[in-house]
Amino acid sequence: MLRRSLNRLLGGDERRVDNRTIYIGHQSFPVNEAFIPPKFCDNRIVSSKYTVWNFLPKNLFEQFRRIANFYFLIIFLVQVIVDTPTSPVTSGLPLFFVITVTAIKQGYEDWLRHKADREVNKSTVKVLENGEETSKESEKIKVGDIVEVTENDTFPCDLILLQSSRDDGTCFVTTASLDGESNHKTHYTVPDIERDLQSLSATIECEQPQPDLYKFNGRMHIYKNDQEPTVRSLGPENLLLKGATLKNTQKICGVAVYTGMETKMALNYQGKSQKRSVVEKSINAFLLVYLCILVSKALVCTTLKYVWQNKPGQDEPWYNEKTQKEKDTNLYLKMFTDFLSFMVLFNFIIPVSMYVTVEMQKFLGSFFITWDKDFFDPEIQEGALVNTSDLNEELGQVEYIFTDKTGTLTQNNMEFIECCIDGFQYKHRGACSELDGFCVTDGPVNKLQQKAGREREELFLRALCLCHTVQVKESTEQARSQGEDCIDQVDGLPVEDEALQPPQEERGFIASSPDEIALVKGAMRYGFTFLGLESKTMKILNRNKDVEMYELLHVLNFDPVRRRMSVIVRSRSGDTLLFCKGADSSIFPRVRQEEVERIRMHVERNATDGYRTLCVAYKHLSEEEYAQADEGLREARLALQDREEKLMAVYNQVETGMNLLGATAVEDRLQEEAAETMEALQGAGMKVWVLTGDKMETAKSTCYACGLFQKRTELLELTVRTLEDGGRKREDRLHELLSEYHKKAVQDAPPVKAGGSRGRFFGKQDYGFIIDGPSLSIVLSSSSESNSNLYKNLFLQICQNCTAVLCCRMAPLQKAQIVKMVKNCKGSPITLSIGDGANDVSMILEAHVGIGIKGKEGRQAVRNSDYAIPKLKHLKKLLLAHGHLYYVRIAHLVQYFFYKNLCFILPQFLYQFFCGYSQQPLYDAAYLTMYNICFTSMPILAYSLFEQHICIEFLLKNANLYSEVAKNAMLRWELFLYWTLLGVFHGLVFFFGVRFLFGNPALQDNGQVFGNWSYGTIVFTVLVFTVTLKLALDTRHWTWINHFVIWGSLAFYVFFSFFWGGIIWPFQKHQRLYFVFANMLSSVSAWLVIILLILLSLLPEILLVVLRKPRGPYARKLSEDDLLQSSRLQPSHHCPIST
């Protein structure tokens, strides 16, 4: 046992190979002479990070791992240890504030997790123990317990289904909370299990827990009365996952195999990898600059201090002697502590609060996306979802969009259009097909040319009826759902709206893919109705209204690699038939070649029309063939290791030598406003790449339909077809083509300036590039390294000069490869991936920003995305309006923060030249502390949440505005320099303005003089007002919140200063500011200098705004305002509220 646990502790590899053995009901068997009850973890779910005891140390440790926090901690410690000018409170308090707020936030989140955990852990569960039903708390379930679950309950742990209340040994499950797929999935009991579970003695051998939700390998040994144990294979269809919900089944019993933190759900719960935005990188770069400024300031001051002190009488005049301790200190140590002291004095130049403000801005700002009602889709009753708020501003920086086709550009709402049997076209006529397939009429088959042989026709339709995994919803269920509670069942979502009820017909079928339903319904139109699957028997109502029965022997499941699926059925007459349907490329090589040509024509025509095509084939299996296949399948299914590969081999072996029956065409309509969205995105200077697994023709037509390719776009194709044109080696041809295209698109074309959309209007030739998967893999993995790099470069250069790029026949991994390639190319452009299916997850994870569409292909894309939107059309507003605004907001926030701290600290630095480099702070400690926390933080936060320098409507109408902030335009070094110079200018004005005023410190009308604290307070007052008013000048969108916060901050400053100086503070050692502020206000000169300096500081800013205006974005805004004003009666400046 020790070894076992040791093994488990050591390398994960060993664990993976290791199987676990589970004794159902904890029965021991004489078979195993040394029965050691294996140790598994209990069913307690711990998603919380902290406990009451370790919260403080653990949380603090984690917080101080951040560089910034650590830096501030160091500063704080220096202040505590070394004799520094400012008390430790000045930096300790903000740090404490930040740490506390973060800790409270994290603590609260953890408390929520604790609560959720407790709810899950303490819920009662029925467990069969020694023949009795006992109630247990969920957390006490052990591996091997037999658990009973009733309808609509969630499974408390991962269970192997032993018994179902349904007769056919199945149960229905919805995994909505796991992967969002709300359709009902069928799970099966292990065959040959006795009804009486108590007398069941069996063991389960299965793999160690692994996170893949759709993989499970296991074996059950059933012992019956000293017989050789029977072995049953267990697959994912036997496994009920924790978190899934039991539907349509009264109750089930299952044995716990994985519990607690080892359930697949728990293993899947992990934080997504951190994506960092460009703004964050800019912040870090700026921070480095400011750190350099800080260090150099401290160095300059330290050096000058010792130069100054060298003059006799300066260091220690008679009026200011040092203490004995100071005299004794080593000179170099003193220099070092002096340096540290200066660092501490100037450390406010790197603000703690910036991190808090940026975090808050991102967190709060992301709510506007979730709140946007334009993102609400009435069909699925959901709005947008924000999974990470770290990337808000990145939405305004996108240069490349990678989009999936099916479900993203198109609706993934399939409709059967036509089919082709033996080369004859069958088209279902009638405008009724427009009405969402509402047409129930058993419309006559339109014979366009001739009919194929009746036998072939019927065989084809039977194939459509049989070769699928569609389930028919039970009539009782249907009645019930129509009756009392009509909210359930449809999609697991409450459907309140009458209009949202899917049409009667559609309700009948449940399937994981909409294609299948479309096909089954298509067959229904031609007279063959699928009635359902009952205990391995499929029933079909044929044209003569007879019920045909087929015994379902095997389902060879669909997978994206094979791109086909098959069923093996046995008809009443005893014939064993294999029906197979799949993509043409995967079917054609597996059928007799003479049949292919006739059908290929149709398939290609259909594909050009933008339909999804599937080919249908069948095969008679002789007894021997079937026996062989059956044997192979069973064996492969029982395999514990490499089951997938083994199964695949058997599948491939079985699915050969088939007869081609025909092909189907299913239409997948374009998403609403797909063309407009694409046009807007291209207008905004983004390059749109379509990455799809679909055929080139289908994808191409979709691209034309949504306007990515135009009539006059010259298409550059790099596909298997063009590569094989010359009949030469592919690679030579590839080289040739690439150079040719490169010459065409890159060398001959004038260089594209930012905002590629312009080319469109000035008659420049547009290029579209098409590449397919196989060609891409040649490009990416050429035989020689140098060639590969060359090809890659050529390929990228061509693509960068094309308006749209289409990559078809892409495997999911290839999609990610392309994204990665573009992401890492020169200039590292910001990429965005958008998709709805599991096959898009890899590219969603790879891109800078991943967007999931809440489509019909389950929720995997949504779960892995950074943002999820219901429809493609929402992307336009998400990028053009939200993204643009977020970027402008946060960019301004960052620049402003650095600026305001520079002009805060610069006077303090300059003051050192007048106080003998003695680290005397200019401002009082309270001001030093509060400046960033209270006086100047709120206005910029409000600005960064509410600013709309351009109206949302206007942003949406003028896509090209987006390109104005492209490439991190507002955080470029020039602008950073501008802000820095502005800060320096302001700092100089503040300091020297007051310095000249203090040439005569008798500033009161009673002749009394002001001291150093008055000096600092005047500078500080000018500072606070200038910095706030500078923001006010930049604010283009004054909501009441901005007014409140900006004027409120200033009022608060005045109020606080009065308050702070109005009392002799009992716990303060110094009463430095006692009545300083009030006395300052009683001096007319102080007033006058404050007003003068504020105005002088803002003067260049105002001047610049006026001069810059005609070229900036404001000009457009202005013309828009003019337009609006002319169309409105009142010439008010209010933002138009759209109707």
Partner 1 sequence: MASSYKDEDGHISVKKPENTAFKQQRLPAWQPVLTAGTVLPAFFIIGLIFIPIGIGLYVTSNNIKEFEIDYTGLDPSSPCFNCSQNFSWNSTKPCTCSIPFYLEQPYESNVFMYYGLSNFYQNHRRYVKSRDDSQLNGNEESLRKPSKECEPYARHDNRPIAPCGAIANSMFNDTLELFYSDPNGTKTQIPLTATGIAWWTDKHVKFRNPGGNNDNLTAAFQGTTKPINWRRPAYELDSDPENNGFINEDFIVWMRTAALPTFRKLYRIIQRRNTMVPTLPRGNYTLEVVYNYPVRSFDGRKRMIFSTISWMGGKNPFLGIAYITVGSVCFLLGVILLFIHHKYDNRNNNPDISSN
Residues annotated in the binding site for ATP, as ranges? Answer: 404-406, 516, 558, 581, 612, 692-694, 809, 815, 839-840
**Positions 36 through 55 that interact with partner 1 (CB under 8 A):** 45-47
In the three-class reduction of DSSP (H, G, I as helix; E, B as strand; rest coil), residue 580 is classed as: strand
- We find the least distance from the C-beta atom of residue 465 to partner 1, in angstroms, to be 36
Backbone angles phi, psi at 735, to 5 degrees: -60, -45
- We find the least distance from the C-beta atom of residue 319 to partner 1, in angstroms, to be 3
Cβ closest to partner 1, residue 57 vs residue 1011: 1011
- We find the least distance from the C-beta atom of residue 16 to partner 1, in angstroms, to be 23
Euclidean distance between CA atoms 895 and 902, whole angstroms: 11
Contact indicator for 694, 808 with CB cutoff of 8 Å: yes
Euclidean distance between CA atoms 810 and 813, whole angstroms: 8
Euclidean distance between CA atoms 452 and 444, whole angstroms: 15
Q: Which of 569, 595, 563 is nearest to 694 (CA)?
A: 563
- In one-letter notation, the amino acid at residue 358 is V
Tokens of 549: 């029965």
Stretch that binds partner 1, among 644-652, 654-662, 896-904, 912-920 (CB under 8 A): 912-920
Stretch that binds partner 1, among 502-510, 714-722, 779-787, 992-1000 (CB under 8 A): 992-1000
Euclidean distance between CA atoms 981 and 903, whole angstroms: 10
- We find the least distance from the C-beta atom of residue 385 to partner 1, in angstroms, to be 6
- Residue-wise over 901-929: b if at least 16 C-beta within 10 A, else e? bbbbbbbbbbbbeeebbebebbbbbbbbb
Stretch that binds partner 1, among 408-416, 784-792, 958-966, 998-1006 (CB under 8 A): 998-1006
**Positions 246 through 265 that interact with partner 1 (CB under 8 A):** 265
Planar angle of CA 827, 831, 836, nearest 5 degrees: 165
**Cβ neighbours of 703 (radius 10 Å):** 27
- We find the least distance from the C-beta atom of residue 892 to partner 1, in angstroms, to be 16
**Positions 204 through 243 that interact with partner 1 (CB under 8 A):** 243
**Positions 569 through 608 that interact with partner 1 (CB under 8 A):** none
Cβ closest to partner 1, residue 895 vs residue 1083: 1083
Euclidean distance between CA atoms 592 and 615, whole angstroms: 13
State which of residues 920, 933, 960, 969 lies at the interface with partner 1 (CB under 8 A): 920
- Binding flag, residue 1008, partner 1 (CB under 8 A): yes
State which of residues 1011, 1051, 1055, 1128 lies at the interface with partner 1 (CB under 8 A): 1011
Please identify which residue in the block is written with the tokens 């025909």.
Answer: 662
Cβ closest to partner 1, residue 46 vs residue 432: 46
- Binding flag, residue 1121, partner 1 (CB under 8 A): yes
Q: Please give the biggest Cα pair distance in the chain.
A: 120
Cβ closest to partner 1, residue 46 vs residue 304: 46
In the three-class reduction of DSSP (H, G, I as helix; E, B as strand; rest coil), residue 1047 is classed as: helix
Q: Which of 776, 778, 760, 758 is nearest to 768 (CA)?
A: 760
**Positions 1066 through 1095 that interact with partner 1 (CB under 8 A):** 1068-1071, 1074-1075, 1078-1079, 1083-1085, 1088-1089, 1092, 1095
Cβ closest to partner 1, residue 363 vs residue 1075: 1075
Cβ closest to partner 1, residue 162 vs residue 340: 340
Q: Which residues define the annotated binding site for Mg(2+)? A: 404, 406, 836, 840
- Residue-wise over 385-405: b if at least 16 C-beta within 10 A, else e? bbbbbbbbbbbbbbbbbbbbb
Contact indicator for 392, 886 with CB cutoff of 8 Å: yes
Cβ closest to partner 1, residue 157 vs residue 688: 157
- We find the least distance from the C-beta atom of residue 601 to partner 1, in angstroms, to be 47
Site string for partner 1, 638-677 (x = CB under 8 A): ----------------------------------------
- Residue-wise over 45-56: b if at least 16 C-beta within 10 A, else e? beebbbeeeebe
Residues 6+ apart with CB under 8 A from 306: 335
- We find the least distance from the C-beta atom of residue 56 to partner 1, in angstroms, to be 23
Cβ closest to partner 1, residue 155 vs residue 767: 155
- In one-letter notation, the amino acid at residue 908 is Q
- Binding flag, residue 499, partner 1 (CB under 8 A): no
**Positions 369 through 388 that interact with partner 1 (CB under 8 A):** 370-373, 375-376, 381-383, 385
Contact indicator for 549, 537 with CB cutoff of 8 Å: yes
- Binding flag, residue 786, partner 1 (CB under 8 A): no
Tokens of 46: 């711990």
Cβ closest to partner 1, residue 340 vs residue 678: 340
The answer to whether the Cα torsion of 656, 662, 665, 666 is positive or negative is negative
Cβ closest to partner 1, residue 85 vs residue 829: 85
State which of residues 146, 993, 1027, 1028 lies at the interface with partner 1 (CB under 8 A): 993
Planar angle of CA 611, 613, 616, nearest 5 degrees: 155
**Positions 1099 through 1118 that interact with partner 1 (CB under 8 A):** 1099, 1102-1103, 1105-1107, 1109-1110, 1114, 1117-1118
**Positions 268 through 287 that interact with partner 1 (CB under 8 A):** 269
State which of residues 571, 995, 1054, 1081 lies at the interface with partner 1 (CB under 8 A): 995
Rg (CA), the chain: 36
Q: Which residues are catalytic?
A: 404
Please identify which residue in the block is written with the tokens 């519990």.
Answer: 259
- Binding flag, residue 85, partner 1 (CB under 8 A): yes
The residue count of the chain comes to 1139
**Positions 441 through 460 that interact with partner 1 (CB under 8 A):** none
Stretch that binds partner 1, among 5-13, 231-239, 695-703, 1013-1021 (CB under 8 A): 1013-1021
- Binding flag, residue 1096, partner 1 (CB under 8 A): yes
- Binding flag, residue 948, partner 1 (CB under 8 A): yes
Q: Under rule CB under 8 A, how many of the chain's residues touch partner 1? A: 116
Contact indicator for 308, 917 with CB cutoff of 8 Å: yes
In the three-class reduction of DSSP (H, G, I as helix; E, B as strand; rest coil), residue 1080 is classed as: helix
Cross-strand partners of 150: 251
Euclidean distance between CA atoms 1009 and 1011, whole angstroms: 7
**Positions 301 through 360 that interact with partner 1 (CB under 8 A):** 313-314, 317-324
Cβ closest to partner 1, residue 456 vs residue 995: 995
Euclidean distance between CA atoms 1002 and 1010, whole angstroms: 7
**Positions 703 through 762 that interact with partner 1 (CB under 8 A):** none
Please identify which residue in the block is written with the tokens 């923060």.
Answer: 897
- Binding flag, residue 153, partner 1 (CB under 8 A): no
- Binding flag, residue 96, partner 1 (CB under 8 A): no
State which of residues 919, 944, 1021, 1026 lies at the interface with partner 1 (CB under 8 A): 919
State which of residues 1038, 1047, 1055, 1059 lies at the interface with partner 1 (CB under 8 A): 1038
Euclidean distance between CA atoms 980 and 804, whole angstroms: 40
Euclidean distance between CA atoms 138 and 878, whole angstroms: 42
Distance of CA 570 to the CA centre of its chain: 46
For helices 331-346 and 67-81, give the axis angle rounded to 10 degrees.
Answer: 130
- We find the least distance from the C-beta atom of residue 746 to partner 1, in angstroms, to be 33
State which of residues 120, 538, 718, 776 lies at the interface with partner 1 (CB under 8 A): 120
Q: Which residues define the annotated binding site? A: 404-406, 516, 558, 581, 612, 692-694, 809, 815, 836, 839-840
- In one-letter notation, the amino acid at residue 433 is S
Cβ closest to partner 1, residue 91 vs residue 692: 91
Tokens of 906: 């610069």
Stretch that binds partner 1, among 453-461, 519-527, 623-631, 1030-1038 (CB under 8 A): 1030-1038
Tokens of 278: 């460009």
Contact indicator for 703, 731 with CB cutoff of 8 Å: no
- We find the least distance from the C-beta atom of residue 341 to partner 1, in angstroms, to be 9
